[in-house]
Amino acid sequence: MSQNKHAQKSIDPASQTMLARAEQEGVETAWDRLHKQEPQCGFGMLGLCCRNCNMGPCRIDPFGDGPERGVCGANADTIVARNLLRAIAAGAAAHSDHGRDIVEALLHAAEGKAPDYEIKDKEKLAALAQELKVPREGRSEKEIALDVARKALDEFGTSKGHLELLERAPSQRKERWGELGITPRGIDREIVEIMHRTHIGVDTDYVNLILQGLRAAISDGWGGSMWATELSDVLFGTPEPHRGESNLGVLKEDEVNIIVHGHEPTLSEMIVLAAKDPQLIELARAKGAQGINLCGMCCTGNELLMRHDVPIAGNFLQQELAIITGAVEAMIVDVQCIMPALTDVAGCYHTKIISTSPKAKFSGAQHVAFDEEKALEAALEIVRIAVENFTYRNKDKVFIPSDKMEFVAGFSTEAIISALGGSLDPLLDAIKEGNIKGIAAIVGCNNPKIKHDYGHVALAEELIARDILVVETGCAAIASAKAGLLLPEAAAKAGPGLKAVCEALQIPPVLHMGSCVDISRILVVAAAVAKALDVDISALPLAGAAPEWMSEKAVSIGTYVIGSGIFTVLGTVPPVLGSSNVAALLTKGADDVIGATFAVEEDPLKAAALMEEHINAKRSGLGLP
Ligand code: BF8
């Protein structure tokens, strides 16, 4: 089977194999649909199309030959800024609504309404209680958990005027937010205010608009996402390093294959329990399978591999390819990053797509409501549906690529500190001495506009070769897992300084820190390092990158990362080039305002050079060699 032309689409051998298989089977994938969309709309790409009222849709001519204003009079600056803000609002809403669901799971567990959930990390609950000033003396764990959950829930619509976890940021950063008037007041409030301010006839000043975008995004990073991470750790355990396997080769020809795909560990944790149910394993055997093989995909996969021995089948662009193996009995989905095309692809095979969230139904999918009150019961029913579907697998259609790769994941902030011997000092010393020049975070999605996984893997390899420690989350981390960069042995690819540090600590040069909401873990580490040095985060030798980003969540992430003072390189161009003022503010002017900027660089090798240049400049600023 010729894979050469598919090597243009992905660097991942399993994906190349499955793309060839898709072609042979006549199954359409995201790459085919992108091709059919080309050339994509120029107004849309530049951010110059406004559909915010029904006098429109309006578009601004980027060449100055046509209209310079919409019907209401909005110009390119206003339209581009408003569109950007609405993307931030959607992204912050997605992360934060996920966060709210985790908070409610803890609340209901503490109230006794969600009996299948328990508090796994009691130490983390105690630490959070102390941070939130929840009394602990003489109180039961459930009483403490109830207060912690109520305080967390209050953050979404708090009237106290600022978010609680912002206290984790260094004082210099908090002061800057205060001076700019962008300290988030409540998670939901900032998102609502974006929707208000981008309505016809409200805010037109692009600078004022972008400041609100920063405020909403900060409420995601230091609010909704951070709560999702903290309370997922409380409920399901704080991750610790362990080995696992990645890529489509984790699917098994002789077992019932179930893939959990989406984002919320409240569902996937119950599926983990259900897949171990002896009666269901017995049923699988009765159907002719050797057992039940549970695998993850995208961020739910990341949540699982951080805490369990559950392999990950792939990242965003592999969701269709997994079904094309013909070996997946069920793909169980909840919310976010689930392609509507899945039901079409599944229609070519025996695979059942099982939706579970009232927020996300898919035409053609089977819906099994996942109810916290009867979580395990629902999970057992879902796994049963998958097991029974094994009967309908067509063995002639099964085609599983052999590619799989081991990884070490589970680097929560706590695990990193533990790997360093109990404090961040060894990391600080390595940075001060120059063995590690700095830290780079690579995060975000896949996007068929970029060769699948190339943006992530080439950037990570280039950075570690330059003695820059890489931390990752999301689909970026899955790309590195598949490429073998999450193994301690990958230190051989690092520069001499980083290699020595990795070998001494027995850690990989690329650390998997979790799902996309777990970028909050990176903020916590950055804040702790800044506090230890008594500087703002913007003074640290840190850089961020989203080489293959596509989602609105990624827009919110990028915005809160620069809002936290960390320079960020994007690998795909955001739709802002229709306004030279907005583009200049984000890539230049923001440095004076917030202490960090965006850059756009599609070539990962050039992106690495930009990031190293930035890190070296920050080292000089701190007086480091
Ligand atoms: O939330 S990295 S494609 S799975 S948006 Fe989605 Fe992007 Fe993957 Fe995770 Ni994050």
Domains in the chain: boundaries:
3-59, 76-236, 248-397, 419-621
Q: Is the CB of 553 under 6 A from ligand 1?
A: yes
Q: Whose CA is nearest to atom 6 of ligand 1?
A: 337
Q: Is the CB of 228 under 6 A from ligand 1?
A: no
- Residues 540-565 pLDDT 10s: 999 999 999 999 999 999 999 999 99
Res 234 pLDDT > 80: yes
Q: Is the CB of 474 under 6 A from ligand 1?
A: yes
Res 1 pLDDT > 90: no
CATH of domain 76-236: 1.20.1270.30
Dig out the tokens for 112 from the structure.
Answer: 């006794």
Dig out the tokens for 304 from the structure.
Answer: 């699982």
Residues 214, 513, 258, 484: is their CA dihedral positive or negative?
A: positive
On whether the CB atoms of residues 95 and 553 are closer than 8 A, the answer is: yes
Nearest partner of 263 among 555, 457, 518, judged by Cα: 518
pLDDT, position 64: 85
Average pLDDT, the chain: 97
Distance from residue 137's CA to the centre of ligand 1 (Å): 41
pLDDT tier at 507, thresholds 50, 70, 90: very high
pTM value?
Answer: 0.98
Q: Is the CB of 298 under 6 A from ligand 1?
A: yes
pLDDT, position 4: 81
- Residues 442-452 pLDDT 10s: 999 999 999 99
On whether the CB atoms of residues 332 and 356 are closer than 8 A, the answer is: yes
Distance from residue 11's CA to the centre of ligand 1 (Å): 19
pLDDT, position 616: 98
On whether the CB atoms of residues 256 and 291 are closer than 8 A, the answer is: yes
% of the chain at pLDDT higher than 70? 100
Q: Is the CB of 558 under 6 A from ligand 1?
A: no
Q: Closest ligand 1 atom, CA of 95?
A: 1
Q: Closest ligand 1 atom, CA of 515?
A: 9
% of the chain at pLDDT higher than 90? 98
For residues 511 and 509, give the distance between their C-alpha atoms in angstroms, rounded to a whole number.
6
pLDDT, position 238: 98
- Residues 260-315 pLDDT 10s: 999 999 999 999 999 999 999 999 999 999 999 999 999 999 999 999 999 999 99
| Mean pLDDT within 50-56 | 98
Which residues are CB-contacts of 64 (< 8 A; sequence separation ≥ 6)?
none
**Two domains, one topology: 248-397 and 419-621:** yes
Any idea which fold 248-397 has?
A: Rossmann fold (3.40.50)
Query: Given ligand 1 and candidates 447, 513, 551, which is best to mutate, with the most ligand atoms within 8 Å of its CB?
Result: 551
Q: What is the secondary structure of 267-283 as a DSSP string?
A: HHHHHHHHHT-HHHHHH
| Mean pLDDT within 221-229 | 98
For residues 251 and 400, give the distance between their C-alpha atoms in angstroms, rounded to a whole number.
7
CATH of 419-621, one of 3.40.50.2000, 3.30.200.210, 3.50.50.60, 3.40.50.2030: 3.40.50.2030
Q: Is the CB of 551 under 6 A from ligand 1?
A: yes
Nearest partner of 272 among 298, 296, 247, 245, judged by Cα: 296
Q: Closest ligand 1 atom, CA of 299?
A: 9
Q: What is the secondary structure of 545-606 as a DSSP string?
A: EETT--SHHHHHHHHHHHHTT--EEESS--TTTT-HHHHHIIIIIHHHHHS--EEE-S-HHH
pLDDT, position 2: 54
- Residues 530-539 pLDDT 10s: 999 999 999 9
pLDDT tier at 158, thresholds 50, 70, 90: confident
| Mean pLDDT within 355-377 | 96
| Mean pLDDT within 96-112 | 97
